[in-house]
Structure 1
Amino acid sequence: MTRTILAILAISLTVTACGRIRDSRINPFNWFGRDRAEQSVVADEALLRDPRPFVAEVLSLKVEPTPEGAIIRAVGLPGLQGYWNAELLEVDRDDLSTLTYEFRVTPPPYQTRQSTQRSREIFVGKAVSTTRLNKVRTITVIGQTNRRAVRR
């Protein structure tokens, strides 16, 4: 009887401690916070690295943990419909505490219309390993008119 009561007490104390783990840095879902928008201007030399233009605007940025590391997901908004071949290209940086990506897209081969925002949205993702993320404090995705960043 006392063993059963002690077992129930131990389980209930363990379950109540989960609230603290949920909000702690131990939980991988808390590694990166909400994204923040920042204004940016793209330099001409950035276009030399890749002939594809930047997406016009980066709408959102999320970092979702996986067992192998994380997936960086971004949503971009080009000016017209028909943009394709989206990719996050890593920018070489000396600072190991930041990961910076350029959101590049290929324009349509012919003239298209603008239409609604939802029909123009482009989703892109990039997997990053745990070893690469160990020292990273900030992840940034750059578009033509803005950039979004998430921080630990």
Structure 2
Amino acid sequence: MTLRRFALPAVMTSLVLGLSACGSTSNLNPFNWFRSDGVKEVAVIPEGGFLEDQEFRGLVTQVIDLQVQRSTGGAIVRATGLPPRLGYWDADLVPENFERPVDGVLTYMFRISEPPYHTIAGRPKQREVLVGHFVSNTKLQGVRTIRVVGERNSRSSSR
């Protein structure tokens, strides 16, 4: 009985110590049995990016006016664009560089969707498209100039 009392713990201790001498990646090592390797993050991004992130709208042909109006908590950038014919729609000022200024210049692309059918040219006043974009005071820190880019030209407004 006394032999069994001392022999069993001695055998178990030598077994644990002997198996723990196995490599750290070994499955025989009892210290690795209940350890987690952590969470492995895998990004599954399709070739060419997600469809929602792709911009299918083109630039407006010409930016004819740009105004920056002060507002509560920031400013409203208002631009007028002139597409080549009637029927252009879904206009927006899309920020460049995640709406961060580069050398004090905050840049927006004047994006617009082409009509799905053939339309007439119309007069320039009929084709004008107005867009607006709110910019908060936090995003305006360090900005000296706001620029709106079209296909043929760009307009800018300085403080």
> Normalising by the residue count of structure 1, what TM-score does the alignment of the two structures yield?
0.66
Q: How far did residue 96 of structure 1 move?
A: 5.7
Distance in 1 between residues matched to 2:154 and 2:77, nearest whole Å:
14
Which protein has greater RCO, CA pairs closer than 8 Å, 6+ apart? Answer: 1
Q: Counterpart of 1:55?
A: 60
Q: Offset at 1:131?
A: 1.2
In 2, Cα distance between equivalents of 1:94 and 1:70 = 15
User: Aligned to 1:118, what secondary structure does the other structure show?
Assistant: helix
Q: CA RMSD in A?
A: 1.6
C-alpha displacement of 1:68:
1.1
| Matches of 1:134 and 1:99, distance apart in 2 | 10
Equivalent runs, 1:22-61 vs 2, <5 Å: 50-61=55-66
| Identity %, equivalent residues | 43
Cα distance in 2 between the residues matched to 1:56 and 1:105 = 9
Amino acid at match of 1:118: K
Of the candidates 102, 107, 123, which is equivalent to residue 109 of structure 2?
102
Per the alignment, residue 114 of structure 1 pairs with 121
Offset, 1:80:
0.5
Give 1:68's match in structure 2, choosing from 73, 97, 103. Answer: 73
- Unpaired segments ≥5 residues, structure 1: 1-47
Partner-residue secondary structure (3-state), 1:81: coil
Distance in 2 between the 1:56 and 1:101 partners?
14
Q: Which has the larger radius of gyration?
A: 2
Q: Map Cα deviations across residues 109-142 of structure 1 (whole Å, 9 max, x no partner).
A: 1000001111100000000001111210010000
Structure 2 counterpart of 1:124: 131
Write the letter of the residue equivalent to 2:116: P
Question: Helix, strand or coil for the counterpart of 1:100?
Answer: strand
Give the TM-score of the pair, scaled to structure 2: 0.63
Moved beyond 6 Å, runs of 4+: none
Q: Measure how far apart 1:49 and its partner are.
A: 5.5
The DSSP-based 3-state class of the residue aligned with 1:99 is: strand
